[in-house]
């Protein structure tokens, strides 16, 4: 499947992985509809040509349906959805401050796991109505987990649970959607130079980089975007979670 000429939906598209992915897909000929929270869309800097930013909450069925419908009415068939939206607050199960806040845990799972599922199911519903290509393919879903899904650090209990859920959905989603010609893969990034990390002091970034086996640096968001394109164009990739992490294996802290 080719990126050129399709419509694509990217969540978390106002910054970080989502912004890089939206720009990359648009550069290669896709009509991209980027979804993000209204406050993020409002303060977004430059919006690349070929990208339309739309305000919506991934956990809200009504607003996601509206964005999916907008993408499905784009100039090309809706063939791709990339779920990048997510949050990463920290908290230990038990600390000096007491037990982990239940509402915080619920919020992280709601955004990262339920939000991913919500967008995937609604987008898949529209992708399934498109005409299949000569190989019976209609589209691709790329979700975002994290290496924390496998080696969550101290204080990442909620984030780890949410991202492990995203990774765990991958093979089942691929099996569920196979009859409609929709492939599903997940990317599990390691330490990526998103605004959250590049805003840290240089010595902190350097310390993080030394924990990567090779190359010893933070990943660039464009490397995530290129991997999305590769998944789209590699028709035999399905049901797989791909680590993009420089062979890092996270320590306890």
Catalytic residue flag (residue 236): no
Q: What is the pLDDT of residues 139-169, one digit of tens each?
A: 999 999 999 999 999 999 999 999 999 999 9
Instruction: Find, among 163, 155, 134, the residue nearest to 252 by Cα.
Output: 155
Phi-psi region of 52 (alpha: psi -120 to 50; beta: other; left: phi over 0): beta
Lookup: tokens for 226: 């290129």
Which residues share a beta bridge with 33?
A: 9, 52
Q: What is the DSSP letter of 187?
A: E
Lookup: tokens for 149: 């899904």
C-alpha span between 151 and 146 (Å, rounded): 9
Please provide the CATH number assigned to the domain covering 7-194+220-243: 3.40.50.720
Q: Sign of dihedral through CA atoms 234, 238, 244, 249?
A: negative
Block means of pLDDT (10 residues each) for the chain, length 253 residues? 97 96 98 96 89 97 98 96 96 96 98 98 98 96 97 95 98 98 98 83 85 94 98 98 95 86
C-alpha span between 55 and 58 (Å, rounded): 10
Task: Please count the other Cβ atoms lying within 10 Å of the Cβ belonging to residue 219.
Answer: 22
Give residue 56's pLDDT. Answer: 97
Active-site choice (33, 159, 224, 236)? 159
Instruction: Find, among 83, 92, 72, 141, the residue nearest to 114 by Cα.
Output: 83
Give residue 42's pLDDT. Answer: 92
Helix and strand totals (H; E) in the chain: 10, 9
pTM recorded for the entire structure: 0.95
Give residue 128's pLDDT. Answer: 98
Q: What is the DSSP letter of 128?
A: T
Give residue 154's pLDDT. Answer: 93
3-state secondary structure of 99: strand
Q: What is the DSSP letter of 131?
A: P
């Amino acid at each position: 499947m080719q990126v050129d000429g399709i419509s694509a939906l990217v969540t978390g598209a106002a910054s970080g992985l989502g912004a890089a992915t939206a720009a990359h897909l648009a550069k290669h000929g896709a009509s991209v509809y980027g979804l993000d929270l209204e406050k993020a869309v409002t303060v977004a800097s430059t919006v690349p040509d070929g990208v339309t930013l739309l305000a919506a909450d991934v956990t809200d069925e009504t607003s996601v349906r509206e964005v999916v419908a907008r993408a499905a009415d784009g100039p090309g068939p809706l063939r791709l959805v990339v779920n990048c939206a997510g949050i990463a607050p920290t908290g230990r199960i038990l600390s000096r401050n007491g037990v982990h806040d239940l509402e915080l845990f619920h919020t992280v799972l709601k955004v990262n796991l339920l939000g991913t599922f919500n967008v995937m199911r609604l987008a898949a519903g529209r992708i399934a109505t498109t005409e299949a290509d000569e190989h019976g393919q209609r589209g691709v879903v790329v979700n975002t987990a994290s290496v924390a899904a496998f080696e969550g650090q101290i204080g990442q209990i909620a984030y780890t649970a949410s991202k492990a859920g995203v990774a765990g959905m991958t093979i089942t989603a691929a099996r569920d959607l196979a009859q409609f010609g929709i492939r599903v893969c997940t990317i599990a990034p390691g330490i990526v130079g998103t605004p959250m990390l590049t805003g840290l002091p240089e010595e902190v970034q350097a310390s993080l980089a030394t924990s990567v086996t090779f190359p010893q640096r933070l990943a660039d968001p464009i490397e995530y975007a290129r991997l999305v394109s590769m998944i789209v164009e590699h028709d035999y990739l399905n049901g797989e979670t791909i680590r993009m992490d420089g062979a890092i294996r996270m320590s306890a802290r």
